Amino acid sequence: MTIGVIDGAPSSRRHAGARRAVARFDLSLSENPFPPLPSVLHAVNVEMARSNRYPEFLPHRLPALVAARLGIDADQVVVGAGATGVAMQIIQALTTHGDELVTSTPTFDGYPIMADMAGLRLVPVPLDSSGAQDLSAMRRAVTKRTKLVVVCRPHNPTGTVVTSGELRGFLSAVPNGVPVVLDEAYVEFLADPDQLDTTALLRKHSNLIVLRTFSKAYGLAGLRIGYAFGGRELMARIRRLQLPFGMGTAAVAAVAASYAAATELGERVRRITTARELLRDTLLADGLSVPRSHANFLYLPGPGIATALRRAGITAKCYPDGSARIAVGDPAADHAVLTALRARPTR
């Protein structure tokens, strides 16, 4: 089986003609608008030719590959079916029915869903007035019943970033027996000054778990490859729930090829972030208040935003107050968003 690229153009889901019930642009999942790089596609195709064979019973090559990239040991890495799959492993390994999970609200949709699946009591802490996670309030929400805390950096859905100082202070204040998941699904979109030395944080905070994915910047959402890394004790507990034969054979090939293509991937990230800033600047000039995003999406606050996008055939992640989150980077989709918002009623 061969997976091909027509012209390397953004891969937004576009439809026209009689299928007007289907959105012209689906920007709801903050996907990378570009297909995997040609070298990555080639590596996956080669591996698919051997897909009659089972993958490793338990993954060893992929954790070793990721660990070498991070400069840590392989037993500090757990891999799974996307960041969501690994997050579910974390929840199942570290909590029991009736425990509390503290997170911000709004947040990544998966956390409320997985908390409900595991029978946890979700403790949602509202964002502050700037759309950032209120770490002080989150710390106050931690009780003896709290068994897990989730901090997103960059935050989903606003794209805001807590500072390294704020995070360090928060980690020092949370009891060491309470695991903290640092969700870095969009870490590759952070500018260099905003990057953290996560290995140094792990040395100081044994309760820290860093969660990442190959779905966003790497454009491999369909392959479902995620990972977490942290201290050996926590990772060993999480690894006990590793599903046998749970990681496909293409995962190692795709990750190795992606690491080898770091320069090209960096160029794609810059292309997306440049488009993000251009769209945000234009929306700001039009009078729309848009938080500065450090991911591959923009959060568009205010009533009527979601409705305007929907009427224009644009699927976005929508919120009860009428706000929306949209993926960025596809020039045609960005233009459609701008046109839709300029056409909306202003009163």
User: How many CB atoms neighbour CB 154 within 10 A?
Assistant: 23
Residue 347 identity (one-letter amino acid): R
Q: Are residues 217 and 68 in the same domain?
A: yes
SS (H, E, C) 105-125: ECCCCHHHHHHHHCCCEEEEE
What distance separates the 2 farthest-apart alpha carbons in the chain? 61
Pick the closest to residue 187 from 175, 177, 195 (CA basis): 195
Q: Tokens 């969660």 identify what position?
A: 211
Residue-level pLDDT, tens digit, the chain, 347 residues? 333 333 345 655 544 443 444 458 999 999 999 999 999 999 999 999 999 999 999 999 999 999 999 999 999 999 999 999 999 999 999 999 999 999 999 999 999 999 999 999 999 999 998 889 999 999 999 999 999 999 999 999 999 999 999 999 999 999 999 999 999 999 999 999 999 999 999 999 999 999 999 999 999 999 999 999 999 999 999 999 999 999 999 999 999 999 999 999 999 999 999 999 999 999 999 999 999 999 999 999 988 999 999 999 999 999 999 999 999 999 999 999 999 999 887 65
- Pair 28, 337: CB distance under 8 Å: no
Residue 47 falls inside a structural domain: no
- Pair 63, 78: CB distance under 8 Å: yes
> Could you say which of 260, 294, 315 is where a domain stops?
260
Query: Token digits for 294?
Result: 């450090």
**What crossing angle do the helices spanning 82-94 and 232-239 adopt, rounded to 10°?**
100
Q: How far is CA 74 from the centre of its chain?
A: 22
Residue 7 falls inside a structural domain: no
> Could you say which of 260, 292, 314 is where a domain stops?
260
CATH of the domain at 70: 3.40.640.10
Beta strand pairing call for 100-105 and 121-126 = parallel
Q: Which domain holds residue 60?
A: 54-260
pTM: 0.92
